[in-house]
Amino acid sequence: MEQDQSVAAGVDSGSAEPGAMAFDLTTANPDANAYGHNPPAVTAGSAVDHDGGAQAPDVSAYPAEHAALNGTAGEMANDQGDAENGGAAINEMGEPVPEPSYEEAVLSAEEARLWSVVTANSLDFNSWIALIEETEKNAESNILKIRKVYDAFLAEFPLCFGYWKKYADHEGRLDGVSKVIEVYERAILAVTYSVEIWYNYCQFAISTYEDPDIIRRLFERGLAYVGTDYRSNVLWDEYIKYEESLQAWSHLAVIYTRLLEHPIQQLDRYFNCLKELASTRALSDILTAEEASVYGVASENSNQALDGEAHPDDPDKSSKPEAENLAKYISMREEMYKKAKEYESKIIGFELAIRRPYFHVKPLDNPELENWHNYLDFIEKEEDINKVIKLYERCVIACANYSEFWIRYVQCMEDKGSLELANNALARATHVFVKQPEIHLFSARFKELNGDVSGARAEYQHLYSVLCPGFLEAIVKHSNMEHRLGDKESACSVYEKAIAAEREKEQSQLLPTLLIQYSRFLFLAIRDLEKARETLTELHEQLNITKPVLEAVIHLESILPCEKRIDLLDSLVEKFVTHESSHGEGSSLVDKEEISSIFLEFLDLFGDAKSIKKSLTRHTTLFSCKRSILPSKKRKADDAIVSDRDKLAKTGGTRPVTGTDPNASNPPVWPATSEASGQPWGAAYAPQATYPAYGTYDYSHQMPQPAAQAAYGAYPPTYPAQGYTQQSYAQPAAMAAAPVPAAAPAPTAAYPQQPAAAPQPYYGTTYY
């Protein structure tokens, strides 16, 4: 795994083979890239098909709206020589020849085995790496096999920029320039704020094209997104190196000037380089035409026209203005440099603490996660929202697997009044990057709050039907949402469909808990007492009754305002405490004793003397005779009362002392009840200290089992029922009148389009 890390995140300084034909990398001016404009989602990655392959990438899927912001591969091809350089081939009839499909690629036995592994578990990163290596070893010149594996892998792990680079290199070696462009365009859609991706793309352009304008436009595209990143110096250095090779001194001076505006790594070096450039070249060489007119200096292009006005016989007259202008030129840039250095002193601690700025499947350590939170706390105080957005975009590359940062990003954008950016970040998190339930629960609540009820409904259904089938918390929250909306029929339908699906399974572990939740919902929210009792009755037929289930049944029976069904409860308790498993999967003796004690408390409140005697006799026979009771361990009555008071002080509950087995080692505490709460696990029905399992239902049987290694986005081994922390959904006042969004489609494996890059402060600014 260690050796894969450098490949997944490293930068190869090599480039694809140069093509014979130059392509147009023209895009819109970066000045127009404003964060306020959010293009529609773009499908940039292809999903794995049923045979373990991937759908061929469709460049035509990139919408025209995106072309104005980030360019498309389709715009980059010249009309000349398309077929020779990877364009569509044409037959004798002038019709395009379709490209061969992935199915035509013949797999070796090992490739087939690895494909079956990653098809069964698409998050198995190590198997993907082994499959890529095996494919590259056997493919040789078979581009179809290479495309198949890279398209499928990058659909699951789109942030691994090193593999986008390797994919582009394969296309350049085996196909042509247009395919390389297509790969890089898909890469910058998937990980727009990666300095390394833009660095690799610009290196490819330099090695391929001769037109400086094409290359400069590509650099400008990249710098519009990542040019203010503290670690963007590698991309700036490549731009500087290119302009130096052209001896374009005025362009070079402008680059240095722009650099000095931002707290970028190695800022001191850039300022010294600018001063060296100004001291070794004539001022007219490094000034643009506009700057030259302001300084009153003849630029390089106008020297000949002004020669007649020069005074070669009086060097003092010409050198004095030159020295003054140079001092003014350096002085203004020094002020910019000092401001940037001052700001750098505020962020340098955060930046140095970022040890892994790129994505990897391995989890980050706690200090680095805490540093990201502290850095975001600092940057959110800035008035410039562009700084906030760009730091969040950097953060969700390194922390892509962590729901907490995506949720924080969404809430920050909402608080700043940008619901469009909030929805954009949420779509990327739920559709592509985060494979955990928390983000979908948050997304559903967020959409409900903002009026997108159909979108919230789709999130819940996707969660408990596709992502994590039978996920109880999503079922409960979906039903509660329908009830809040006033649709009681739909609220009940959510439970009934889930119960029907579980009934079709043999030995469903979820069904008893679903029946309890539904019964409680029917009584507390719908106020349908008869249906609630009828639902509970179905538990009598269940064989896999557990301790938390029985606790809930007894509790519900105690709060229902009707005659208590003591015989039904007695039969359930009898089945539980006397059941013996031959495979060691039965409940423990402690659990059985506790359930028996709880039932005795229930009978002491609602039963008669006969039923109490029957249950007490059973309890004594099963439990009291199975352990030795030492006199030294018996507590006096006063000690027991004092101990009980201590427990009540900690739990805040009430405890009847009567009705329990005096020999029990851990007499249970019966929770206080209330019928006021209509929501599951509310304050009136909080999980009690004595019954930690009830209210924290173990969902391990519902969750997909993770692979041996730390797979990307793998579910945790257990997921507590109500462990999801409720988020704050404070709606900004400015958004109160926002129109209701259109119904969101069911989540897909698409790449939602990144927000357009913000205009840099140096664009359109003059420095005199």
Among 157, 171, 168, smallest CA distance to 197 is for: 168
What pLDDT score was predicted for residue 99?
58
The pLDDT mean for the chain works out to 74
Residue 751 has pLDDT above 70, yes or no: no
- What is the number of H-type helices and E-type strands within the chain? 31, 0
The dihedral over CA atoms of 80, 81, 83, 84, expressed in degrees to the nearest 10, equals 180
Helix axes 177-190, 195-208, angle to 10 degrees: 160
β-partners of residue 751 are 42
* pLDDT tens string 189-214: 999 999 999 999 999 999 999 999 99
The contacts of residue 753 (CB under 8 Å, 6+ apart) are 38, 39, 40, 41, 42, 66, 189, 424
Distance (Å, rounded) from C-alpha 171 to C-alpha 578?
68
- pLDDT cut 90: percent of the chain above it: 49
Average pLDDT over residues 120-147: 92
Q: What does DSSP assign to residue 690?
A: S
Average pLDDT over residues 545-551: 85
Beta strands in 618-746 (DSSP E): none
* pLDDT tens string 440-485: 999 999 999 999 999 999 999 999 999 999 999 999 999 999 999 9
* Cα 187 to chain centroid, rounded: 17
User: Pick the residue with more confidence: 162 or 678?
Assistant: 162
Pair 270, 256: CB distance under 8 Å? yes
Distance (Å, rounded) from C-alpha 287 to C-alpha 359?
41
Pair 28, 182: CB distance under 8 Å? no
Distance (Å, rounded) from C-alpha 445 to C-alpha 448?
5
Pair 535, 515: CB distance under 8 Å? yes
Helix intervals (H) in 38-124 = 64-70, 109-120
Among 386, 392, 421, smallest CA distance to 761 is for: 386
State pTM to two decimals: 0.68
* pLDDT tens string 368-421: 999 999 999 999 998 899 999 999 999 999 999 999 999 999 999 999 999 999
Residue 681 has pLDDT above 70, yes or no: no
Distance (Å, rounded) from C-alpha 166 to C-alpha 548?
53
Residue 352 binned pLDDT confidence (cut-offs 50, 70, 90): very high
Residue 646 binned pLDDT confidence (cut-offs 50, 70, 90): low
The contacts of residue 481 (CB under 8 Å, 6+ apart) are 444, 448, 453, 456, 457, 460
